[in-house]
Amino acid sequence: MEFNDTKEEAAFRGEIRTWIDNNAPDYLFEPLSTSGFGSIQLDGFDPMAEAKQWQKTKAEAGWACLQWPKDYGGQGASPIESVIWNQEEGVYGQLSRMFIIGQGMCAPTMMTFASEDQKQRYLPKLASGEEVWCQLFSEPHSGSDLAGLRTRAEKDGDDWVINGQKIWTSGAQHSEFGILITRTDPEVPKHRGLTMFFLDMKSAGVDIRPIKQANGDSGFNEVYFDNVRIPDAQRLGGVGEGWKVSLTTLMNERLAIGGSITTGFPEIKELVDQLRIASGTAINDPAVRSKLADWYAKSSGLKNTAARAISALSKGEVPGPENSIGKLVAGGMMQDIAKFSLDLQGLSGAIVDPEIAAGSARLQAMLMRSPAVRIEGGTDQILRNIISERVLGLPEDMRADKGMPFNKIPVGN
Amino acid sequence: MNFDFSDDDKMVQDQINRFLRDNCGFDEFRSVLEGDATYSDSVWRGLSEMGVQGTAIPSAYGGVEAGYLSLCLAARELGAHLAPVPFSSSIYLAVEAIQRTGSEVQKEEWLPKLASGQVIGTLAVTETLQEQVPEDITTTFAKGKLNGIKLVVPHGLMADVAVVLARTSDGLSLVLAPLSDVMRKSIDTVDPTMGSATITFKDAPAELLGESHDGWSAMSAVYNRAAVLFAFEQLGGAERALDMAVGYAKERFAFGRPIGSFQALKHMMADMYVALKLAESNCYYAAWALQNDADELALAAATARVSATQAFQLCSRDNIQVHGGMGFTWEYDCHLYYRRSNYLALVLGGLTTWEDKLVSALPDAA
């Protein structure tokens, strides 16, 4: 067992550090460090333009999507090397958030199911940030029950014609392409009638409308499809095999989200080190210490669990569904930390103006954003189902629609 | 970076697991809980024959010198099988205290006997009915004699030698005392298999452990090391308690279906798994810090201790809940884990104390 770098790892880390010192947009260091959680504010700079520029700089120097094969824009690096990169990229890594869905979820799906020509055409531009991708999965009537989705794809010559609506699509307004799961056969049980595609988001009939979220931001969109035509060549996997294809994406989603986890611990530690409460400095209060210890133990547990997953990856093992714990633990913890941090500040804790509130109001932003963390990419409840069924081997819950043709399933309203 | 135990360490763990599986079932625990035995002599001797007590003791002192990573895995197995033997007191506490603070002569005299299991050791601290602070210690050591009462000493019932926290003319010190001529009385605790005793020292012969030192800090240093090993015992116990709950939930039917298909129970067990996994990863990191005597040890040990205590208490508690009424019978084994988890949670000081230590060990800019 060894946590320190090997000689090679230390050398690699040194190389990255030097390159980042010489090339990173250091004028963004300050705004990125204090930027509100859930959305990036860059003091007048355009976040998308800056993100694309940084990604391009990295790609040209060979630092983008390190672990991808060289042919597709990566360097064929080991999992450990890409972890070292992420550690050293530090605060600038936030700029890569715009590309997480595309690089972390769409790309693995493309690598597994697209043709060689398509991989050559799309993956390098996805790696370099020149083209942004999104994932069109959730629908107004199918969130946790994703396989109940209704967006139709009907064959017409060499094309498929798409009609329906997706929702909660992150970054659709910035995306050139997307992967899309549709229903191609409503007469078979729900998991068997699905088919996956990728499409050009500028196709005729695609209408993107931002959703105003409960926290006031608009990171997600509704996407409407009105007779959108997709060539059959852009089908990923067989007709009726979309569910299997989606599992590749979703497992990577949990890894991608689990990999860069925000818990709120550093923020509350910084707060209680300074904050004065009735009993003195907050960090010296026994009730504060007890909670702080619990949260540190959890966030450290997540960090060490991730390190074990990387260790397993580097030995060629496949990380399993046990990695579902990351988001489950972090989401609830962030919400609790945010609530307690505000509580310690009395009514002043309610102030959300980053110019006035302690810690640039990051904890207030976490309070308002954390409900979504506990829903997106698998709700807390779905994650507990996954853990109990796939890790612990407990029996499936009774399903009222089991084996029923999709078009016979009761829908309520 | 390599965040895993070596194949050699895992092989030794597997041997210990097989030995305990075959020789240390719940009946061993019950023979102590319900019978006259104070610990399982056969299990203790079996472990001795395998050299488990000497795992991390240097070969110069009669040990196997296989290192702390291996000892951590042994602890996990002992915890999983609820082994009713004085291993933790003898090895994690007495041996660590003697190794860290003892003189060369003391090490040569005691470590080989502790390593072979021929002698059982313990650490005697607690004197009053609350979490101990230095002021609570009134046992005195002067002119080679110990005087005072230690209220609850783990495995004090069968220990041959104790490291005793006592007041000297210099303040607190650790003192080494053979227990041949002391008065000991069994004291009932939540886990009767931990051999707890009240020990009365009346002009009992003893000697200072090593050179003059600050006894409270020396004890805290031993606690930090022992916390990692206890955390592995807690981890082993938590895992078995969860396995037991899962096994029962698959077989027990209610409302015409296995109770393990109800989300109310599945989600409870998922939370048990989460607590276990977090504790396990923190324990792995702490094992590395212990093996390498790393600067991070104080923080890593407190972190492992806090999360392993939480995990074992949660898993043993909710294992009873999954079992329903049967889980609260004497006959079912759920209470064995519940008992052990609640004793181990207190043995180095309670959760609140460790939470406080954890926060004290946090770097300023965490």
Q: What is the rounded average pLDDT for all residues in chain A? A: 92
Range list of H helices, B24-133:
26-34, 41-50, 68-80, 87, 96-101, 104-116
Q: Is A289:B356 a contact under the CB 8 Å cutoff?
A: yes
pLDDT at B269 exceeding the cut of 70: yes
pLDDT at A17 exceeding the cut of 50: yes
pLDDT at A205 exceeding the cut of 80: yes
Average the pLDDT over B352-361 and give the result. 98
> Do A180 and A121 sit in the same domain of this protein?
no
Q: What is the rounded average pLDDT for all residues in chain B? A: 97
Summarize pLDDT for B168-177 with one digit per residue, the tens. 999 999 999 9
Average the pLDDT over B87-103 and give the result. 98
SS (H, E, C) chain A: CECCCCHHHHHHHHHHHHHHHHHCCHHHHHHHHHCCCCCCCCCCCCHHHHHHHHHHHHHHCCCCCCCCCHHHCCCCCCHHHHHHHHHHHHHHHHHHHHHHHHHHHHHHHHHHHCCHHHHHHHHHHHHCCCCCEEEECCECCECCCHHHCCCEEEEECCEEEEEEEEEEEECHHHCCEEEEEEECCCCCEHHHCEEEEEEECCCCCEEEEECCCCCCCCCEEEEEEEEEEEEHHHEECCCCCHHHHHHHHHHHHHHHHHHCCCCCHHHHHHHHHHCEECCEEHHHCHHHHHHHHHHHHHHHHHHHHHHHHHHHHHCCCCCCHHHHHHHHHHHHHHHHHHHHHHHHCHHHHHCCCCCCCHHHHHHHHHHHHHHHHCCCCCCHHHHHHHHHHHHCCCCCCCCCCCCCEHHHCCCCC
pLDDT the model gives residue B366: 44
Summarize pLDDT for B53-83 with one digit per residue, the tens. 999 999 999 999 999 999 999 999 999 999 9
| b (16+ CB within 10 A) / e for B225-261 | bbbbbbbbbbbbbbbbbbebbbebbbeeeeeeebbbb
Residue A392 located in a structural domain: no
B269 CB within 8 Å of a chain A CB: yes
pLDDT at A186 exceeding the cut of 60: yes
pLDDT the model gives residue A413: 65
- Residue in A2, A328, A395 closest to B261 by CB: A395
Domain limits for position A21? 7-127
Residue A357 located in a structural domain: yes
CATH of the domain at A199: 2.40.110.10
> Do A208 and A300 sit in the same domain of this protein?
no
Average the pLDDT over A252-279 and give the result. 80
Q: A297, B310: Cβ pair inside 8 Å?
A: yes
Residue A393 located in a structural domain: no
Q: Is the predicted ipTM greater than 0.90, yes or no? A: yes
- Residue in A80, A292, A311 closest to B4 by CB: A311
Q: Is A178:A134 a contact under the CB 8 Å cutoff?
A: yes
Q: B69, A269: Cβ pair inside 8 Å?
A: no
The residue of B257, B265, B281, B305 whose CB has the most chain A CBs within 10 angstroms, and thus the best one to mutate to test that interface, is B281
Listed range (A198-202, B32-36, B53-57) with the worst mean pLDDT:
B32-36
Q: Which residue of A has its CA nearest to B5?
A: A1
> Do A178 and A101 sit in the same domain of this protein?
no
pLDDT at A252 exceeding the cut of 70: no
pLDDT the model gives residue A243: 96
pLDDT the model gives residue A36: 67
Q: Which CATH class is domain B216-361?
A: mainly alpha
Summarize pLDDT for B128-146 with one digit per residue, the tens. 999 999 999 999 999 999 9
- CA dist B166 and B65 (Å) reads 31
pLDDT at A255 exceeding the cut of 60: no
- Shortest Cα distance, chain A CAs vs residue B258, angstroms: 8
Last residue of a domain, one of A107, A127, A147: A127
Last residue of a domain, one of A197, A216, A247: A247
Q: Which residue of A has its CA nearest to B258?
A: A395
pLDDT at B310 exceeding the cut of 80: yes
pLDDT at B355 exceeding the cut of 90: yes
> Do A232 and A341 sit in the same domain of this protein?
no
CATH of the domain spanning B121-214: 2.40.110.10
pLDDT at A395 exceeding the cut of 60: yes
> Do A145 and A34 sit in the same domain of this protein?
no
Same fold, B121-214 and B216-361: no
- In chain B, residues with a C-beta closer than 8 Å to the C-beta of A391 are 273
- In chain B, residues with a C-beta closer than 8 Å to the C-beta of A79 are none
Q: A394, B281: Cβ pair inside 8 Å?
A: no
Q: B267, A388: Cβ pair inside 8 Å?
A: yes
pLDDT at A356 exceeding the cut of 80: yes
CATH 1.10.540.10 for domain B7-116, yes or no, is yes
Q: B284, A3: Cβ pair inside 8 Å?
A: no
- Residue in A293, A308, A387 closest to B3 by CB: A308
Q: A392, B307: Cβ pair inside 8 Å?
A: no
Confidence of residue A147 (pLDDT cuts 50, 70, 90): very high
For B14-39, give the DSSP string. HHHHHHHHHH-SHHHHHHHHHSS-SS
Residue A386 located in a structural domain: no
Residue A408 located in a structural domain: no
Q: Which residue of B has its CA nearest to A393?
A: B246
B70 CB within 8 Å of a chain A CB: no
> Do A209 and A289 sit in the same domain of this protein?
no
> Do A194 and A296 sit in the same domain of this protein?
no
B228 CB within 8 Å of a chain A CB: no
- Give B 76-135 residues with CB within 8 A of chain A: none
For chain B, what are the domain ranges? 7-116, 121-214, 216-361
CATH of the domain at A345: 1.20.140.10
Q: A397, B2: Cβ pair inside 8 Å?
A: no
pLDDT the model gives residue A257: 39
Listed range (A216-220, A242-246, A277-281) with the worst mean pLDDT:
A216-220
Summarize pLDDT for A306-347 with one digit per residue, the tens. 888 877 777 777 767 777 798 899 999 999 999 999 999 999
- Give A 359-398 residues with CB within 8 A of chain B: 381, 383-385, 387-389, 391-398
- Shortest Cα distance, chain A CAs vs residue B205, angstroms: 41
Residue A363 located in a structural domain: yes
pLDDT the model gives residue A43: 75
- In chain A, residues with a C-beta closer than 8 Å to the C-beta of B2 are 1-2, 311
> Do A72 and A47 sit in the same domain of this protein?
yes
Average the pLDDT over A199-206 and give the result. 98
Number of structural domains in chain A: 3
- Shortest Cα distance, chain A CAs vs residue B41, angstroms: 34
Average the pLDDT over A347-361 and give the result. 94
Report the range out of A81-95, A293-307, B218-232 with the highest average pLDDT: B218-232
Average the pLDDT over B312-338 and give the result. 98
B8 CB within 8 Å of a chain A CB: no
Chain A, chain B: beta-carbon pairs less than 8 Å apart: 160
> Do A156 and A236 sit in the same domain of this protein?
yes
Confidence of residue B330 (pLDDT cuts 50, 70, 90): very high
pLDDT the model gives residue A309: 81
Last residue of a domain, one of A100, A127, A154: A127
